[in-house]
Amino acid sequence: MAEFTTEPVGKSVTRIDMYDKVTGSATFADDIQFGPGLYYGRLVRCPHAHALIRKIDATRALELPGVKAVVTGADVPKNIGLYLIDRPIFARERVRYVGEPVAGVVAISEEIAHEAAQLVEVEYEEVPAVFDPVEAAQEDAPLLHPDLGEYEVANFIFPKPGTNISEHFKLRRGDVQPAWDRCAAIVEGTFRLPQIQHVPIEPHVAVSLWEPSGQVTLWTCSQSPFAQRDLVAQSLDIPHGSFRVVSPYVGGGFGGKAGISMEVCAVVMARAVKGHPVKLRMTREEEFIGTTVRQSLVAHTKIGCDSEGNLLAMETQYYFGGGAYNDYGVNIARAAGYSCTGPYLIPNVKGDSYCVYTNQPIGSAMRGFGMPEIHWGIEQIMDQLAEKIDMDPADFRRRNCVKSDETILTGMKMPPIDLVSCIDKATKAIDWGKREAPSAPHKKRGKGIAIMWKAPAMPPNPGSAAIVRFNEDATVNVSIGAQDLGQGAFTVLAQMAAQALGVPYEWVRVSVPVDTKYSPYEWQTVASRITWSTGNAVKAAAEDAKRQILEIVAGHWGEDPKDLDIKDGTVFSYRTEEEISLKGMVIYGLPNENFEGWTGGPIVGQGRFMPTYVTNLDFETGQGTRAVVHYTVGAQAIDLEVDTETGEITVLRIASVYDVGKAINPDLIMTQIEGGAVHGMSSAFEGLRFDSEGHPMNPNLVDYRISTAADIPLEIHGDYVETPLEDGPWGARGVGEHVMVPTAPAMANAIHDAVGIRFNDLPLSAERVFQALQEKRES
Amino acid sequence: MANHTITFTVNGALERVDVPANLTLLQMLRDKLALTGTKNGCEAGECGACTVLVDGEPTNSCMMLAVEADGREIMTVEGLAPEGQLSPIQQAFVDHNAVQCGFCTPGMLVSTYGLLRRNPNPTEEEIKEALVGNLCRCTGYVRIIQAVQAAATQFAGTEGGA
């Protein structure tokens, strides 16, 4: 790499955080040193899936030497929640899942805190529990939240008090009934996906200090420092200005460190021991059951097409098993509702998407936000339809997939995208249509494809802000509230700042850690929105700084700023070819003629971005002018082998192609594609298991396996298409989550191609494949 | 809990520390010596984020007691670039963009160092086998394996130096 990278947008520059991360000097939340005043917290978790709390007695715990405090639900009367404020910080009256915190112990060591937690005595009265989302949605199901009607709720979420349904999104377009009669092929299926966990390698850590003055600080690994500030401030009645969230590097998030889970517990515990920081660190077991998980889903889906392969109608019910409380859950069901068709143009649609309370860990955001779940069924049905009318599945998708400017299911006009090119490139990369020999006689080889769409799912007006400050030597500090979880946000934002300012990439620093006291506002690092939204804010801030510089220099030279530009850190005039370095002048300004005074001063640029055009959707039909800001689309094609003697699946090739609008850093996109493909593949084999009473059976990395280095595909082929997004910086849109959405269904389609067997339920396993092969042989 | 005084080297420097008998090597490195490059991901020997070398062998430091380190040689990620100059392994990770969130990276680097010390020319299968105990959720391992292959070429050319 050259020492200085000029005009870095579009170039694969080295990650800005690389040196810190390969030397072990990158600071993560658990690495921050707090000195001998640090106390340790431990949560007391309930052992029942659904019970009423009769009594909590902390006397024995408090008598243990070294114990400083025990907090319970009695100390926190208000609930917390993102869209539906339904969750007590510590359980009050009722517990709704195994592992729910009922108390928090603070002690001088982790060991004492652990011991004391076992001394907190809680009396429970068990009540009936419910785990399946379809059962839980019935009128006579055990009710988790009798007070559902009294919870505060966002104006686009529609819970049904008196039931376990926390959100019901309805999509009505055209008329499905008469359309079924015109279908030459109809396929209907029920698809089930279990709860799965994010499994970041860094477990959640939160440290909080409540100073006697009322100033409160929370240090934590967070995708959402500002949202956490807002939620905790509201719940605990702290002025926003007195509450500070500091988030250093995040050791993997995937949605699990967005919103809020255990962080608020640390703040409540710190309030009980003012002046002492309190550290609360999740064990791996707690990470599985006590933070958040991806929701389960039961999908009943029916789709039909005519004999030419034109999709005519779709009817679907999605029942998301939301777990005991909603963090993002309700909005995942909503997103699955307004995107319920997947990336297809279907004229007649009846969709109902429900988020349903179940006595399980809290279901929330995970990479893909409802899309991996719904695409699992949709994409298998599309293959079955293609087969029924004897059409190539890739051609079937080319014909029906959504295209620019078409009016999609919500009535919104599709912003520019090119999904057909994604299909073309992905299929070509695995020699689609060519039957290839398996590596051994007992193996069967097959190919499959799946396509996807996903919109950033968020309130209509999430904002981003950025500040660009110059230093004496013309290096630049970019402050943002967006977070780098590994996806490369800091690098991409630094590239954008450099490009817009006209300075080399290497002159830019991104101010870390994210600190709500000093960093400008950012809604949250979620929804694959940072490249786009924060990118726009950074570009605006850089342009603001550049405008200030050009005005100063133009005044100094007696020229029009329009005739000046900045390149490689030097201001120059197109008209006179005069040049001046940024060094010094960006702080000290420039002298007037004959040194009669000075012009300028320290350059600080500010920028912000917030989408202003998203509209409400009709409650009965889900119709509206603009449901979402945009969609990112893509395709994956998979070539695999099934071992008929063991049921083992070996993925030979995955080709992934996405329309990214503009590749700001092409190699970072490739690393997302590779990581996403393996994450998607791994997710097909993952599932939290519970016994009949709701106790988790595999909350550890031995019984809940994620892909290792030995499991990965032999070849991952990444590529992208660039159809510029109208309001994206240089046309860019996000791709971080999308890369895992179609992997599992593409695998399922390839397995069917290989052995003629369909799997409607996840997780897959070699055992299940083997059993299905046996049954097929026998029948 | 009785304390024990133990003596060992970490990254070439001799250390003497008082530790309780139940303290793990991971806790000692992080909490007593502030060597926080070694990460705590599961405390059950399942994720590999805490991998260090003990007498040259990659070891999950969460599964070893600090007292067992008495008289041994420990190397952590901080020992790979003691002077701040990246080692060939680290440089290969940089060159191949083999890092995302960075939390598994110290363990990956140390496991790689352990592998290349005993097998300077590993096959792809041997690399995967050596890293199977180091979990990564971000990268899909693709670049990590490429980086190890590239580092092996470099490594062979240096005198066993990291």
Q: Which amino acid, A566?
A: I
Q: Is residue A13 a contact partner of residue A3, using CB atoms and an 8 Å limit? A: no
Cis link prior to A611 (omega < 30° from 0)? no
Q: Tens digits of per-residue pLDDT, B61-106?
A: 999 999 999 999 999 999 999 888 999 999 999 999 999 999 999 9
Q: Which domains does chain A have, with CATH numbers?
A: 18-27+462-609 (3.30.365.10), 32-127+201-252+257-290 (3.90.1170.50), 293-402+413-458+616-778 (3.30.365.10)
> At residue B113, what is the residue type?
Y
Buried b or exposed e, range A338-377, using 16+ CB within 10 angstroms? bbbbbbbbbbbbbbbbbbbbbbbbbbbbbbbbbbbbbbbb
A700 with B44: Cβ contact below 8 A: yes
Q: What is the pLDDT of residue A311?
A: 98
Contact indicator for B102, A16 with CB cutoff of 8 Å: no
What is the pLDDT averaged over residues B100-122? 97
C-alpha distances in Å from residue A402, one per residue of A317, A386, A413, A516, A530: 21, 17, 10, 40, 25
Kindly provide the ipTM of the predicted complex, given to two decimals.
Answer: 0.97
Question: How many residues can be counted in chain A?
Answer: 779
- Tell me, yes or no, if A24 comes closer than 8 A to chain B by beta carbon: yes
Distance CA A683, CA A697 (A): 18
Q: Annotated catalytic, A737?
A: yes
* CB neighbour class for A599 (10 Å; exposed up to 12, middle 13-18, buried from 19): middle
* CA dist., res. A712 & res. B25, Å (int): 31
Distance CA A98, CA A480 (A): 38
| DSSP letters for A224-252 | -HHHHHHHHHHHHT--GGGEEEEE-B-S-
CA–CA separation, A75 vs A84, rounded Å? 21
Mean pLDDT of chain A: 97
Percent of chain B having pLDDT more than 70?
Answer: 95
Q: Which pLDDT does position A1 carry in this prediction?
A: 40
Q: Which residues contact B132 (CB under 8 A, 6 or more apart)?
A: A708, A709, A710
Residue (of A447, A454, A376) closest to A196 by Cα position: A376
Q: Rounded distance, CA A89 to CA A80, Å? A: 7
A114 phi, psi to nearest 5 deg: -65, -45
Q: What is the spatial distance between Cα A527 and Cα A548, in angstroms, rounded to a whole number?
A: 33
Q: Which pLDDT score is estimated for B157?
A: 62
Q: 10 Å Cβ neighbour count for A695?
A: 15
Closest CA to A299 of A277, A315, A282: A315
Distance from CA of A709 to the nearest CA of B (A): 5
Can you tell me the mean pLDDT for A757-778? 97
| Contacts B109 to A, Cβ<8 Å | 22
Residue closest to A764 by CA, chosen among A747, A741, A778: A747
Band (pLDDT 50/70/90 cuts) for residue B155 is confident
Instruction: Please give the DSSP secondary-structure letter assigned to residue B30.
Output: I
Best residue of B29, B78, B142 to probe chain A, by most A CBs closer than 10 Å: B142
> Is residue A127 within 8 Å of residue A293, measured between CB atoms?
no
- Write the CB contacts of A423 (distance below 8 Å, at least 6 apart in sequence): A394, A397, A398, A401, A449, A451, A635, A657
CA distance A153 to chain B (A): 34
Residues 6+ apart with CB under 8 A from B13: none
What average pLDDT score do residues A687-709 get?
98
Token duo for residue A295: 């929701």
Strand ranges (E), A327-417: 348-357, 363-364
Cβ neighbours of A655 (radius 10 Å)? 27
Q: How far is A179 from chain B (nearest CA, A)?
A: 44
User: If you measure CA to CA, which chain A residue comes closest to B83?
Assistant: A23
Cα A736 from chain centroid?
A: 8
pLDDT tens digits for range A452-486: 999 999 999 999 999 999 999 999 999 999 999 99
Question: Residue B143 in contact with residue B100, Cβ under 8 Å?
Answer: no
Q: For residue range A626-680, what is the model confidence (pLDDT) as tens digits? A: 999 999 999 999 999 999 999 999 999 999 999 999 999 999 999 999 999 999 9
Give the DSSP letter string of A179-240.
HHHT-SEEEEEEEEE--B----SS--EEEEEE-TTS-EEEEE--S-HHHHHHHHHHHHT--G
Q: What's the pTM?
A: 0.97
Interchain proximity B99–A18, CB inside 8 Å: yes
B46 contacts A202? CB cut-off 8 A: no
Residues 6+ apart with CB under 8 A from B73: B8, B9, B53, B54, B55, B56
**Which structural domains are found in chain B, ordered by start?**
3-79 (3.10.20.30), 88-157 (1.10.150.120)
Task: Tell me whether A679 touches chain B (CB under 8 Å).
Answer: yes
User: Which of A24, A249, A674 minimises the CB distance to B78?
Assistant: A24
Express each pLDDT in A350-366 by its tens digit: 999 999 999 999 999 99
Comparing CB atoms, the residue among A30, A485, A701 nearest residue B101 is A485
3-state DSSP assignment of residue A710:
helix
Catalytic residue among A263, A286, A641, A737: A737
Indicate the pLDDT class of residue B162, thresholds 50, 70 and 90. very low
**Is it the case that residue A3 has pLDDT exceeding 90?**
no
| Helix (H) or strand (E) run with residue A341 in it | none
For a pLDDT cut of 90, what percent of chain A falls above it?
A: 99
Query: Residues B148, B92: contact at Cβ < 8 Å?
Result: yes
**What is the predicted pLDDT for the residue at B158?**
61
Q: Give the whole-angstrom CA distance, residue A596 versus residue A244.
A: 45
Chain A: residue whose CA lies nearest to B37? A24
Q: Which residues of A touch B149 (CB under 8 A)?
A: none
Q: In this structure, are strands A101-107 and A67-72 parallel, antiparallel, or unpaired? A: antiparallel
Q: At what angle do helices B142-157 and B105-118 cross, to 10 degrees?
A: 40
> What CA–CA distance (Å, rounded) separates A611 from A727?
9
Instruction: Choose among A203, A251, A677: nearest Cβ to B101.
Output: A251
Chain B CB contacts of A707 under 8 Å are: 140-141
Report residue A507's pLDDT band, with 50, 70 and 90 as the boundaries: very high
What is the rounded CA–CA span in Å between residue A526 and residue A409? 24
Question: What is the per-residue pLDDT across A151-177, written as a single tens digit (0 to 9) for each?
Answer: 999 999 999 999 999 999 999 999 999
Query: CA A509, A515, A517, A522 torsion: positive or negative?
Result: positive
Do the chains contact at A28 and B103, CB–CB below 8 Å?
yes
Q: Do A707 and B140 touch (CB under 8 A)?
A: yes
Residues 6 or more apart in contact with residue A594 via CB below 8 angstroms: none
Residue contacts between A and B (CB atoms, under 8 Å): 173
User: Between chains, do B137 and A198 touch, taking CB under 8 Å as contact?
Assistant: yes
Is the Cβ pair B140, A674 closer than 8 Å? Answer: yes
Give yes or no for residue B159 having a pLDDT over 60: no
pLDDT in the model for residue A2: 47
Place of tokens 């349903």: A356
Q: How distant is the Cα of A769 from the closest Cα of chain B, in angstroms?
A: 24
Cα separation, A128 vs A108, in Å, equals: 39
Which chain A residues are within 8 Å of B46, Cβ to Cβ?
A: 284, 700-702
- A285 CA: distance to closest CA in chain B (Å): 8
